[in-house]
Amino acid sequence: MLLDLVLPGGDGLTVLAEARKARPTLPVIIVTSRGQEEERVAGLKLGADDYIVKPFSVKEMLARIEAVLRRSAERPLELQSISFPGGTADFRRLELRFDDGRREELSERESELLRYLAQNAGRAISRNELLARVWRLPSNAVRTRTIDMHVARLREKLGDSLELPGVILTVRGKGYMLAASAR
């Protein structure tokens, strides 16, 4: 998260404190014009991973983002693709490539959902965890069927049978899991 401290109708340090409560390992870099030592120390003590004072160069900001992500517990895994029965999911290109030459586009959310399931292969992922990790919503904030709808759409694109799924399994009472045949 890139967070400015000067926000309309609010304070960035309050946002930082709430973000830390909701997602303690979320990488946060404060980007602000407030550069006094006391302000930098307060931001870092509240949990910011870095503090950049404006003006700064884009190169410096990108280097700092890369450094924070290298140290982050939530850094993205380098999972570029997975194989599934009949094809490959390419997360960089947001597409499914089938062995028969067909291609199917994935939305960013579908790609993130499939990647998250692949990154956590071998365990059932609850809808609440998917809301928190893929949709980045507090799991208790909403009651929604959006997870189920996205899984249904993704299964359709994958050619996954509802009766006998081979890629995304429903684990009754738990959530969803990537099948062992897809990795």
183 in any annotated domain: no
Question: What domain count does the chain have?
Answer: 2
pTM of the complete model: 0.59
Do 65 and 96 fall into the same domain? no
pLDDT for residue 77? 54
Do 60 and 103 fall into the same domain? no
Do 51 and 121 fall into the same domain? no
Task: Indicate the range of 48-62, 73-87, 102-116, 145-159 predicted with least confidence.
Answer: 73-87
Last residue within a domain, chosen from 46, 71, 96: 71
The CATH number assigned to the domain holding 66 equals: 3.40.50.2300
Domain hosting residue 115, numbered range? 81-178
d(C-alpha 152, C-alpha 162), whole Å: 9
% residues pLDDT > 70 (the chain): 93
Report whether pLDDT(144) > 90. no
- Asked whether the beta carbons of 79 and 115 are under 8 A apart, the reply is yes
Last residue within a domain, chosen from 71, 99, 128: 71
Rank 53-57, 131-135, 140-144 by mean pLDDT and report only the highest.
53-57
